[in-house]
Amino acid sequence: MPDRGSGGPTGPRIRVGRPSRRARTLLMTAGVLAVLAILFVMFAGFWTDWLWYRSVQYSSVFTKTLWTKVGMFAVFGLLMAVAVGVNIWIAHRLRPPLSAMSLEQQSLDRYRMSIAPYKKWVLLGVTALVGLIAGASAAGQWRTWLLWVNSVPFGKTDPQFGKDISFYAFDLPWYRFLLSFGFAAVVLSLLAAALVHYLYGGLRLTTPGARATAQATGHLSVLLGFFVALKAVAYWLDRYGLAVKSGDFKATDNWTGLKFVDANAYLPAKTILFCIAIICAVLFFATIWRRTWQLPVIGFGLMVLSAILIGGLYPAIVQKFQVQPNEQAKETPYIKKNIKATRDAYGIDASEVKDYSGTSKAGKQQLRDAADTTASTRLLDPNVVSPTFQQKQQVRGYYQFPAVLDVDRYKTKDGREQDTVVGLREINTDGIPEKNWINEHFKYTHGFGMVAAKGTTVDKDGAPAFSEKDLPPKGDKGDYQGRVYYGEKTNQYSIVGGPQKELDYADDEGEKTYTYKGKSGVNLSNPINRAAYAVNFNEPQILYSGAIGEGSRILYNRTPKDRVEAVAPWLTIDGDPYPAVVNGRIKWIVDAYTTSDNYPYSSRTTLGDTTEDSLTDGQRAVVARQNRVNYIRNSVKATVDAYSGQVQMYQWDKKDPVLKTWMKAFPGTVKPKSAIGNDLMDHLRYPQDLFKVQRELLTRYHVTSPSQFYSGSERWQIPDDPTHKGNAVPPYYLSLQMPDEKKQTFSLTTTFNPNKRETLGAFMAIDADPRSSGYGKIKMLRLPSNTTVSGPSQVQSKFNSDPNIAESLNLLKRGDSEIEYGNLLTVPLEGGLLYVEPVYVRGAGTNYPRMRKVLVTYGERIAFEDTLGQALDKVFDAEGDTGTGEQPEEPPASSDASVREALKNVQDAYDDGQEALEKGDWKAYGKAQDDLKDAIKDAQDAESKAEKRAKKE
């Protein structure tokens, strides 16, 4: 028994020692496995990216970007590590042999002794850390490097310094990066060297005697000299930076470039400060021999004082006493430069502004005839009828259409172009009857078919007159590959081509299955690929599922925007890709932009703010929300095949130097414009986002007179959408004949209000037809400043306040039906403005709108009728004649618009019957015969009404 008096423990001893060999082995194994898992996760991300780029045949983009980042990381990381490491080593070599006897140095001795055995490791660790941070930061500048090393000239010079624009767009950003890197290297080296000198006694804060040894003084002086020399370089670059500097100015909210005070105060001040900084740097370098801080400190103090007086106080005095008393006269030359540069940079320099009276002297029949020929007035609003497409053509709950449909052009049987509203029937995984992993990713993999409707007519029930419909698709588009594996709404991955069959479509006979035959996606036969994607998508079933086998391919990055952005990360993508049937394939057409924010004197704009309107509120994407630019070109037209996912990019703007620079950096990725085929060219159009950027700039920059620009007397504003308060009215595609044109051209149109007023200030249209010689030409019709022509909001108010219309609308609302207004279209017509707005009714118990009425106004006349023809007839009736000359003779009743429309329906029904007869489709032929009978009856009724009206008049 233990001796109780000894004070020893009476319980069992607990032995604390090293873990057992088995425990150590398990811990080491777990650690190795954890490291391997982390490495494999990193490898999976890299490997899947490589496989994806190889699958889309743009591996050169991946490798060029990767090696550029690696090179930037290595070079600048190594430079930073060497700069800091060498200065630490120099500071250590210059340490005093003996430290002074003081309390400060005695306390530092403990740190020196503790660090001494690990000096090399500390040096390697510090340099590695700063090198990694600097390298990672530099890798993010890969675009800046590629632009600089591949730069091509703009062929234009800035008006202040006479340098090519490429210097500001490509060179200056790279020089500023090098400068910021130099500052970072010098500051870190200075801090590290000062710390080592202090630790080893070269710097003494409390020790009596000299505060620094001669060696420390010389070393730190050289580093300070480099810092001041870099500051001199910064002052010199700041001179050029004034040409791209943003600032406030009374004439515009986003002024860019020099003003009077910049050219006459800041510019000379920067030059003077550059000279002072050079002198100051020389004084710091001279300390190596003089071993005193006196002159450098005086020089540095002089530089700081000069920066305050010359760089701050003097410009303020010039602004106060020279500019403000006569600001307009002083700023006129600089406003002129800003106007010219801004119009050049945004491609609005060739825009035309013509005066337009807003009132007409034409007679009623001339106006009525002109209404038929001036515009193909689109009654089918792509922003309203998506629910109707959904209801009529969804077919199954697992299909969907976009909330906002698209407008395109297709040729009719007689060869005429017709504005057409189109949408693709895409897969909707939320509508899958039974949701599970197999159904979501293997069975319901694709949508099917385009649905198209004539833009200028509706059927007798007010629903779209479909020219392409049903499953499998049939209509006037002919035979084409209708399966949609890539689309705007297709956001999740699918695995296709393997043992698991896909649902193709369903009809009265049941479900049809399909196996993907394309080469798109990444092959999953390889177990390494399967493991990488299982990790990348956080889905372990990919690794072991029996639904994956020989031929299985994984499809992802499936939206057109994502695919083009991935293969061309240097492009800004338009927010509205649109589909077209091209050469028997459905192609997504994607407009892409090259941009810059360093165009001298050009005012900047934020793309997200500029491209917002009533349609981007949760429905359509906004392009590059945070991007601030002052140069933009629609330089690339891209396509994405809806079946194969193949991405093709074509050079659209042959003159754009930014695109030429990127094409040098990534050769072979963009095809020449000549490679665009005829079928594709038929469906290209002027992009909406670029148009919205340009119209925002044109609210101010439509004037070229500096005095008018300064006063703001001619400023316009973009109207609010009268049916979506608080949001800008969107631009509308419309086939239109402008006053000076001889035929209709597919155009993009918008209106302007005078600043802070709701009357109409101007109408703007741009030629959107790529085959037209005037493609991209902006034309604006400016109304007199004292005009009383109603703007969109006033027109809508006029419609709503008319008692007859209000009564009719109340009748339409009976039974809890809802009224929905379509696009309010504006058409310049014989000196006046014609407004047309379709009215849709969403009946109680239905969830889709049908067009029931058309609102039309011209001058003070308003019509609210069942059809556009009837409404135009009423507006231009004899009683509403606004002409001042002789009235033309009435045309025969047979020319009545409703008769013409009815006869056209007869011809369409006959053509459909003949086409069905040729194909041997007796079901379609029978339907066409029924339609023909109905159309003939409608034509007879319309003819009878026209004759009665003619007799009455």
Q: pTM for the full model?
A: 0.84
In this structure, the strands spanning 464-469 and 450-458 are: antiparallel
**Average pLDDT rounded to a whole number, residues 343-348:** 94
DSSP 8-class letter at 622: P
Question: Average pLDDT for residues 864-868, to the nearest whole number?
Answer: 90
**How far is residue 506's CA from residue 110's CA, in Å, rounded to a whole number?**
83
Residue 619 predicted with pLDDT over 80: no
Q: Which amino acid is at 488?
A: E
pLDDT at 490 over 70: yes
pLDDT exceeds 90 at position 681: yes
Write out 116-133 in H/E/C secondary structure.
Answer: HHHHHHHHHHHHHHHHHH
Q: What is the pLDDT of residue 457?
A: 87
Mean pLDDT value across residues 400-418: 86
Say which residues have a Cβ less than 8 Å from residue 584's Cβ, sequence separation at least 6.
478, 479, 480, 481
| Predicted pLDDT of residue 894 | 37
Query: Per the omega criterion (within 30 degrees of 0), is the bond before 472 cis?
Result: yes
Q: How confident is the model at residue 598 (pLDDT cuts 50, 70, 90)?
A: very high
Q: Per DSSP, which regions of 694-795 are E strands? A: 716-717, 720-721, 724-728, 732-736, 745-754, 762-767, 778-782
pLDDT value for 936: 66
Of all residues in the chain, the percent with pLDDT exceeding 90 is 46
pLDDT of residue 3: 46
Task: Summarize the confidence of residues 843-856 as an average pLDDT.
Answer: 83
How confident is the model over 319-327, as a mean pLDDT?
86
Confidence of residue 897 (pLDDT cuts 50, 70, 90): low
With CA atoms as reference, report the closest residue to 85 among 188, 222, 161: 188
Whether residue 878 is predicted with pLDDT greater than 70 in this model: the reply is no
Over residues 701-709, mean pLDDT: 91
Q: What does the block give as tokens for 760?
A: 């109409």
- Rounded CA-CA distance 896/468 in Å is 29
Spatial strand order of the sheet with 417-424 comes to 406-411, 417-424, 450-458, 464-469, 474-475
User: Of 478-487, 611-620, 714-723, which range is least confident?
Assistant: 611-620
Instruction: Calculate the average pLDDT of the chain.
Output: 85
Eight-state DSSP code of residue 593? E
Q: pLDDT tens digits for 520-555?
A: 999 998 899 999 999 999 999 999 888 998 889 999
Nearest to 570 by CA among 21, 102, 924, 61: 61
Which segments of 597-639 does DSSP mark as H helices, in order?
Answer: 607-610
**Helix, strand, coil abundance in the chain, percent, nearest 5:** 45, 20, 35
What is the predicted pLDDT for the residue at 251? 64
Tell me the pLDDT band of 882, cut-offs 50, 70 and 90. very low
| Burial class of 844 by CB neighbour count within 10 A (0 to 12, 13 to 18, 19+) | exposed
Please state whether beta strands 818-821 and 724-728 pair in parallel, antiparallel, or not at all (unpaired).
unpaired
What span, in angstroms and rounded, lies between the C-alpha atoms of 789 and 783? 8
CA distance 186 to 69: 23
Is the separation of the CB atoms in 365 and 891 below 8 Å?
yes
Gap between the terminal Cα atoms of the chain: 135
Instruction: Compute the average pLDDT of residues 11-29.
Output: 66
Q: What is the pLDDT of residue 655?
A: 93
CB 680 within 8 A of CB 659: no
DSSP character for 585?
E
Each residue's pLDDT tens digit, 192-228: 998 888 887 777 766 555 667 878 888 888 999 999 9
Q: Could you read off the pLDDT of 68-115 as tens digits, one per residue?
A: 999 999 999 999 999 999 999 998 888 777 555 555 565 666 666 666
Show the CA angle centred on residue 644, arms to residues 653 and 42, nearest 5°: 90
The DSSP call for residue 568 is -
Structural contact between residues 702 and 717, judged by C-beta atoms closer than 8 angstroms: no
State how far Cα 257 lies from the chain centre.
Answer: 25
Residue 798: HSE in the Cβ half-sphere, 13 Å Cα cutoff: 23
- At 307 the pLDDT is 82
The tokens of 222 are what? Answer: 């050289």
Residues 6+ apart with CB under 8 A from 643: 481, 483, 484, 485, 486, 518, 520, 585, 586
Say whether pLDDT at 929 is over 80: no
For the ranges 292-301, 330-339, 599-608, the lowest mean pLDDT is seen at 292-301
- Are the C-beta atoms of residues 892 and 936 closer than 8 Å to each other? no
Average of pLDDT values for 677-700? 93
Grade residue 782 by pLDDT with cuts at 50, 70 and 90: very high
pLDDT level of residue 35 (50, 70, 90 thresholds) = confident
> Do 728 and 612 touch, CB atoms closer than 8 A?
yes
